[in-house]
Chains A and B, each alone.
Chain A
Amino acid sequence: DTGVSQNPRHKITKRGQNVTFRCDPISEHNRLYWYRQTLGQGPEFLTYFQNEAQLEKSRLLSDRFSAERPKGSFSTLEIQRTEQGDSAMYLCASSPLDEQFFGPGTRLTVL
């Protein structure tokens, strides 16, 4: 059991660039979540997939953000035209039902 993995672990980019993060959930989990966490705050929910269907999106998820989960396996989160305010830890979690298993996160720094 390798748990939830996320890549890359760290990403530094310049404002205006596009970035893409990948999440590989625990294989038998059909639920997948994306969160964003800034220093001193708890994770904030961004979006939720059940299998390949994106069932919920937070109001926090602006039009610059898009997420996919093709074939209900791994998921990607893309941020277009990054802004400095996008700097945060992006966390992915998968779940069989209620409790969620988090990955180590991708730390994004936008210069």
Chain B
Amino acid sequence: SQKIEQNSEALNIQEGKTATLTCNYTNYSPAYLQWYRQDPGRGPVFLLLIRENEKEKRKERLKVTFDTTLKQSLFHITASQPADSATYLCALVPHSGGGADGLTFGKGTHLIIQP
């Protein structure tokens, strides 16, 4: 069956360090993968999108990698700050539907940046 796995436990990182979050998937052939941030009681906020033919994407302190052989995406936050504390969601869009399908989300990883 199709599955998306993210670190199920909270990730505690010291301020200033790099936080690395993992998203693994099985039985998917994603056209692209997205990362979202979600704060308690709010809707997810789009961060980055990476396509299957791209290895890496960067945006300010954020970096995403995508390895279709390993079926894995890594999400990095460099120089982490307490304000980066949130739940980070990985989401896939399969090839079928021309990219118009709804997103399939992982459960998310709760990131805590400690001062």
Contact = CB atoms under 8 A, between A and B. Distances in A.
Interface residues of A, number: 28
A91 B43 CA distance: 7
Interface string B30-59: 001010100001111110010000000000
Contacts of B100: 31, 48, 50, 55-56
Interface string A32-45: 01010000111111
Interface residues of B, number: 25
Given A43-B44, A91-B43, A99 B105 contact: no
Contacts of B16: none
Interface string A70-105: 000000000000000000000101000111111111
Contacts of B71: none
Given A56-B97, A98-B49, A105-B43, A43 B103 contact: yes
A98 B99 contact: yes
A33 B34 contact: no
Contacts, number: 64
Contacts of B32: 98
Interface in A8-22: none
A77 to B, nearest CB: 14
Contacts of B34: 98-100
B91 A99 contact: no
A97 B98 CA distance: 11
B102 A33 contact: yes
B102 A102 contact: no
Interface of A: 4, 31, 33, 35, 40-48, 50, 55-56, 58, 91, 93, 97-105
